[in-house]
Amino acid sequence: MTTNFDTRAAELDAADPLAAHRAKFFGTDEATQSSTPGMPLAYFDGNSLGRPMSASFDRIEAFLRHDWGTRLIRSWDEQWLDLPLELGNKIGAAALGAAPGQTFVGDSTSVLLYKMARAAIGARPGRTEIVLDTDNFPTDRYLLEGIADELNMTLRWIEVDTSSGVTPEQVAAVVNSNTALVLLSHVAYRSGFMADAPAITKITHDAGALIVWDLSHSVGSVVVELDKWNVDIAVGCSYKYLCGGPGAPAWAYVRKDLQTVIEQPIQGWWGTKNMFLMGPGYDPENDLRRFITGTTPVVGMQAMIDPVELIGEVSIEAVRAKSLLLTQFVIDYTDEVLAPLGVTVATPRDPAHRGGHVTLNHPHMRELNALLWKEDIIPDYRDPHGLRIGLSPLTTSFEEVFIGMERVKETLLSLG
């Protein structure tokens, strides 16, 4: 039986408990789409850069006119000094399953990954190996290659198929008494595979090593329970599902009992017990603040506040439930409509191992992606032959998905 995907999309939108929140994001209403040149008809790249919330426009203007423009330096004492910890607590509660005092905002994802990887390695003296996988995001791999060279350590590579991800069995096969650090992504950037974080974390601990999870493609999209999973350290970006804007500062989680055990490798004045004492030596704070290095990116945090609060309001469980419906819609459409054209699904079909995006493979996907962008349909491309359909539950409607997938079909047919 042929599915009427247009009707199915309308029914799913009508039943969507998050549908009313979509209008809170700029560019999601028909009036804006029709009046703004270049506004996408279907935005399939929220897993790379989320849409801005309309409330962020007002917040940033108020910040410029009042907090910075009028209060000037006084705003540090009035609100900015504690903002990285306060916003970190909100991210932890809304999207990470983390109790207060374990998450902070600051630096880029790459800088925080470097700091946390070095800190974890330093807490395991005498161990000489780092475990990582061949399909992790490039920055993760490049950073660990540099750290290994710097510290004369050995990299233990897990070979991963680009249509899957790292399994507990693979980790168990490589960790040993020499392992200092395991660094993996929870959701694979290429395939959307979601790893078994609790099992892999336990395997790592059983080997006496520490684990750092990169949650850049997880936070704000899937349910994460860092405290329950007993995760050591996690890092993630804020410009994907958290909709913090391009280059928004990243965040890091450090489990409470580790905060005075691991050492901050990039020592700065913000991490000291009395930052305004300007003392002659580095005396680190006894809590999470010790991992903050320099002056925090206050401007960059402004656009993060409203989306994080919205996720906390609607619950990450509700976001995940819609995410699964969105990704299943794409998979079902592909199986019925695109598979006869040679398209295959490179993302796990099992919801327990599927993140928030779906990757579709076909030899013409690079060319197809370029053509779709010209038609204001915005997915993205990843080698080999992968078209990523990124579905941000708070901003993506099922009708939008149907429109975009129909255009994928039509454009693919035009390529012959």
CA gap 82, 296 in Å, rounded: 10
CA gap 85, 327 in Å, rounded: 33
Amino acid at 22: R
Asked about 228 being catalytic, the answer comes back as: no
Catalytic residue, candidates 137, 189, 291, 333? 137
User: Strand 210-214 to strand 233-236: parallel, antiparallel, or no bridges (unpaired)?
Assistant: parallel
Q: Is 55 helix (H, G, I), strand (E, B) or coil?
A: helix
Per DSSP, the residues of 95-161 read: II---TTSEEE-S-HHHHHHHHHHHHHHTSTT--EEEEETTS-HHHHHHHHHHHHHHT-EEEEEP--
Asked about 239 being catalytic, the answer comes back as: yes
Asked about 202 being catalytic, the answer comes back as: no
CA gap 366, 178 in Å, rounded: 42
Q: Which residues of 69-81 are buried (b: 16+ CB within 10 A; e: fewer)?
A: eeeeeebeeeebb
Catalytic residue, candidates 240, 290, 320, 322? 240
> What's phi and psi for 230, nearest 5 deg?
60, 35
Catalytic residue, candidates 354, 388, 398, 402? 388
Asked about 67 being catalytic, the answer comes back as: no
Inter-CA distances, 174 with 169, 293, 375, Å: 9, 33, 47
Asked about 82 being catalytic, the answer comes back as: no
Catalytic residue, candidates 239, 253, 333, 402? 239
Catalytic residue, candidates 135, 140, 214, 232? 214
Helices (H) and strands (E) in the chain, counts: 14, 13
Write out the catalytic residue numbers. Answer: 137, 214, 239-240, 388
